[in-house]
Amino acid sequence: MATLGHYTSKLTGPVAQSGQCLLFLMRMISSIRFSAAQVRSVLQQIYLIGARSLVIVMICGFFVGMVLSLQAINALEQFGASDQVSLLVVKSLFRELGPVLTALLFAGRAGTSVTAEIGLMKATNQIEAMELMAIDPIQIIALPRFIASLISLPLLTAMFNALAILGSVVFSIGVMDMDAGIFWSKLQTGIYFYKDFVGGMWKSLVFGGLVGLVAVFFGYTAKPTGAGVGTATTNTVVLSSVLILVFDFIMTSFFT
Amino acid sequence: MEQAKIIKTAIRIRDLVFRRGRNTILDGISMDIQQGSIVAFMGPSGVGKTTILRLISGQLKPDEGTIEVNGQMVSRMSDRELHRFRRNIGVLLQDGALFTDLTVFENIATPLREHTDLPEPLLRRLVMSKLNAVGLGGIEDLMPHELSGGMARRVAFARAVVLDPGIMLYDEPMTGLDPIAVSTIRTLMRETNDALGLTSIVVTHNVTQMSQLVDYCYIMASAKIAGEGPPQELNSSTEPGVNQFMNGKMEGPIPFHYQTPGTPWGLLD
């Protein structure tokens, strides 16, 4: 009987946790107040989790652009279509690779730091102290980080895309001696602002919300011990990564 | 006459029962805590002292019984009522629980920013006056990790009293402090309590530190109140549980072994 109970709780656990996560989201949304203090707090978090992720996102973007161009030129040369490289690289960047890779990087860089920070605040009784001072920790701690994640990820994705294009330019034009005119003209004629760029930005907005929600939720519900915070941080990366890829497929299938 | 008694009683607890799973943590506790007094809950670790504080502050709900603070029934409050109620309560947690990413000034200013619309110059003056009151004027720009344990506890004390609460709850306020810091915190607690007319509850297991501070003590053992009275009376008590705790004896009714339901230990009682 005890074994049956154990397996039942293994099955129902994730469902219950999903419900708790949604309730947590509702609590965050209901605690939105347009005060100067909250705006200041969101801006501070945009700097901490967004601006400070810029370097890693830019470096990765640049090299992803280079390696994509390398592979694309190798593949397209076989069909005599290597002049299409910019089109292939930028379309795949705008639609898929930009939003997905930036979100995965963001989950690893910012999601983990948010979870660990909130988990540690819980372990050192700071969250409890806020509740006892009649201060809502969800409004003060969780909400600014969630909104900052929502705003930061699309901006980081745009930066990733820009640096990836630069990487592609450096490799295709600088290293492979492609004609710059052909490179840019293919982009002008083949890339559509709304269909390609904005479509990808919507995805990154959703990914920003997912990573932000998962990070604050796991931080807030972490066991107040060293091992508990460690597990919560790992869970943030694992679940964020899975959700990013699952939602990417769903959004691409249904909305593109 | 009856009305005068009600006004003087700040916290009234009746038949309080609290369980965690199958373990009964508090079993039928009743007490009246007079306004303006400093009261200590003492007892061995794990006996449920901190649980009482959490029940009084509304963090936990009792399974049975009632808790009334200044005429308000805490045990039946909604979340919104609890939020309002807690503005009148100051809590000093065991490790101070300062916000580690804020300066000392911002730590003390946080409750004021959240609950008042004071203009910045006035807010600054108020924070600095509290900081000076705990003898730490001039450290407002330091971060919590730059403070010693005693200083951090004093900053947390200043933060707890910044909204001038009516009730102060202390959870092991002197644990891990050197003797000078202990004396400082003890003096601050007494002077603040008397100057502002607060009612203070202190949870502790340190008998000697509390004897010099509190007006009244409750000794807890086995989920019940084993004894109560002014510290001087309890020191000379012949009641076995009280005597065992006050003198730090291993032998007595307070068990050394952790008791779990269903173990042979229950049969020995």
Picking from B59, B95, B111, the nearest residue to A133 by CB comes out as B111
Amino acid at B210: M
CB A73 within 8 A of CB A179: no
pTM over 0.90: no
Average pLDDT, chain B: 83
In a domain, A107, yes or no: yes
Q: Is the pLDDT of residue B13 over 50?
A: yes
What are the residue ranges spanned by the domains of chain B?
36-58+79-248
Quote the tokens at residue B116. Answer: 């008042």
pLDDT of residue A256: 61
- Residue among A126, A145, A229 with most chain B CBs within 10 A, to mutate: A126
Q: Is the pLDDT of residue B251 over 80?
A: no
Q: Is the pLDDT of residue B44 over 90?
A: no
CB contact under 8 A, B97 and A37: no
Q: Is the pLDDT of residue B257 over 70?
A: no
* Residue A120, phi-psi category: left (phi > 0), alpha (psi -120 to 50), beta (remainder): alpha
In a domain, A213, yes or no: yes
Compare B262 and B17 and report the one with higher pLDDT.
B17
Residue B261 pLDDT grade (very low, low, confident, very high; cuts 50, 70, 90): low
Beta-carbon pairs below 8 A across chains A and B: 49
Between CA B259 and CA B160 the distance in angstroms is 36
CB contact under 8 A, B84 and A134: yes
pLDDT of residue B6: 46
The overall longest dimension of chain A from CA atoms, in Å, is: 73
CATH 3.40.50.300 fits B36-58+79-248, yes or no: yes
Given the structure tokens 């001696």, which residue do they identify? A177
pLDDT of residue B253: 66
Residue B254 pLDDT grade (very low, low, confident, very high; cuts 50, 70, 90): low
Quote the tokens at residue A17. Answer: 């946790």
Angle (deg, nearest 10), helices A54-77 and A85-92: 140
Alpha-carbon Rg for chain A, nearest whole angstrom, is: 21
**CA of residue B242 relative to chain centroid, distance:** 20
Give how far A55 is from chain B: nearest CA, Å: 23
In B, minimum Cα distance to A139 occurs at B114
Please tell me if residue B97 touches chain A, with a CB cutoff of 8 Å.
yes
Residue B258 pLDDT grade (very low, low, confident, very high; cuts 50, 70, 90): low
In a domain, A57, yes or no: yes
Burial letters for A208-245: b for 16+ Cβ neighbours within 10 Å, e otherwise?
Answer: bbbbbbbbbbbbbbbeeeeeebebbbebbbebbbebbe
Please tell me if residue A134 touches chain B, with a CB cutoff of 8 Å.
yes
Share of chain B above pLDDT 90, in %: 17
Contacts of A132 in chain B (CB under 8 A): 57, 59, 86, 89, 91, 93
Residue B262 pLDDT grade (very low, low, confident, very high; cuts 50, 70, 90): low
**Average pLDDT over every residue of B127-146:** 90
pLDDT of residue B186: 87
Compare A82 and B254 and report the one with higher pLDDT.
A82
Share of chain B above pLDDT 70, in %: 90
In a domain, A208, yes or no: yes
**Average pLDDT over every residue of B220-244:** 79
CB contact under 8 A, B97 and A129: yes
Give how far A88 is from chain B: nearest CA, Å: 46
> How does pLDDT run across A81-97, given as a tens digit for each residue?
888 889 999 999 999 99
In a domain, A29, yes or no: no
ipTM of predicted complex:
0.78
In B, minimum Cα distance to A120 occurs at B100
CB B24 within 8 A of CB B83: no
Q: Is the pLDDT of residue B70 over 80?
A: yes
Instruction: Please report the residues numbered 112 through 151 in chain B whose beta carbons come closer than 8 angstroms to any beta carbon of chain A.
Output: 113-115
Between CA B54 and CA A144 the distance in angstroms is 28
In a domain, A146, yes or no: yes
Compare A57 and B86 and report the one with higher pLDDT.
A57
Mark the ranges of chain A whose per-residue pLDDT is less than 50.
none
Question: What is the tally of structural domains in chain A?
Answer: 1
In A, minimum Cα distance to B54 occurs at A132
